[in-house]
Structure formats: C-alpha cells, structure tokens
Amino acid sequence: MNQQLPSDDELIPRLLAHDDAAYAQVVSAYHGLMVHLARAIVGPAIADEVAQEAWLAVLRALPRFERRSSLKTWILRIVSNTAKTRLRHESRTVNLEDALGDQASIDPSPFNAAGRWASPPAVWHADTPDDLLTSQELRACIDASLSALPPMQRAALTLRDMQGLDMESICKVLEVSESNGRVLLHRARNRIQAAIEEFYQR
C-alpha cells in the first residue's frame, strides 16, 4: 500500500512546502491506518471524520514537529488524541481510564484455587485462521467481541495484531506506559480468544 514512501527527512520539507504529490503520498500511506485507529477508539460512525480532523491538525502542527518520533507515530498520536477528545465529548460517561482499569475480563475463573485448569479449554476444530473464518457465525462472534472491547484495548489490539505496529510505537501513539500497553493488548486478546472459546464450548 505504501510502497516507496520517501523518508521523513525528504517528506517533511515537501509537506511544509504544500507539495501536492507529498500530500498524496502521506495520505495514501497513512490514511487507512488512521481510520482504523480512529474507528477503534470512537467507533465506525465518525471515524472518517476524526481522521480528516486529525489530518488538519497534523498539517497545522507540522512546522512545530520536533522529530522525537517518526512522522508516522506522531501522526497516529494526533489521531489518537483527536479521537479520545471526541470520545469524551460524545459520551461523558465513558472514562478512558476505565478502559485500563477494568478487571471484568474473564467472568467465572476457569482455574481452581491452586491455579490449575478447572474447566480446561475446549478443542477448537480449526488449525488456521481460514478454518476459523469459514464459520459465518463465528466470524460474527469475533466482530461482536471486537466491538464490545473498551476503546483503549481495541486500539492496542488494532494497532498490534491487525495493523502490525511494534509495541514501542503503540505506547507512544496511545500515550500509555510500556506495561500498560501490554496489559491492554493482553486483555483484548484474551477477550477475543474467550469469544471463540465460547463458540466452541456450545
């Protein structure tokens, strides 16, 4: 998708000079990712809008960009902040910190007091993603559990497992510590796994 994107050193001066070709290159390279991140935090309805808003913020702030991270990470952090601001406005009840603090991951613990499996995982009749995704019903379960994730967990999961960013960049983008970033990812993965597990236990 973003083949031959020039280096930040080359791109930034061209963007500052309002070079149309450079605009097209960064939009082509990063817009999709920005929409994915925005959608993870604010939901699908206003994700495109948030991504656009973030572009404006990016281009306006670019003269002051200090290059302490890559352009990509910096752009995504602006998306993340734009989205978080929107989320706070849209629903005052949503507390972003709740997304980190929630403990209600796996309801009845599958372990006994000694920490051994009391109700062991079911056998999944699937060995590959393709096997799993052949069931429309299971696919719907996965989509539903993705939508039900707390926003910050969904953002971490989207960036790591769906968009392939490294953990260090993700933590910069979401403005969380390395350990909190790992907790977000771990919980999100567990919830999706639990949804698939539930499907196979039925």
Confirm or reject binding of residue 202 to other proteins (CB under 8 A). Answer: no
Count of residues in contact with other proteins, rule CB under 8 A: 50
Give least dist CB 91 to other proteins, A: 25
Give least dist CB 196 to other proteins, A: 6
Which of 123, 125, 136, 202 lies at the binding interface for other proteins (CB under 8 A)?
123
Confirm or reject binding of residue 193 to other proteins (CB under 8 A). Answer: yes
Comparing CA positions, the residue from 100, 119, 90 lying closest to residue 174 is 100
The DSSP line for 45-95 is: TTHHHHHHHHHHHHHHHGGG---SS-HHHHHHHHHHHHHHHHHHHH-TT--
Which of 120, 125, 136, 137 lies at the binding interface for other proteins (CB under 8 A)?
120
Confirm or reject binding of residue 4 to other proteins (CB under 8 A). Answer: no
Give the distance between the most distant pair of CA atoms in the chain.
Answer: 64
Q: What is the phi/psi pair of residue 111, to 5°?
A: -110, 150
Q: CB-wise, 19 or 94, nearer to other proteins?
A: 19
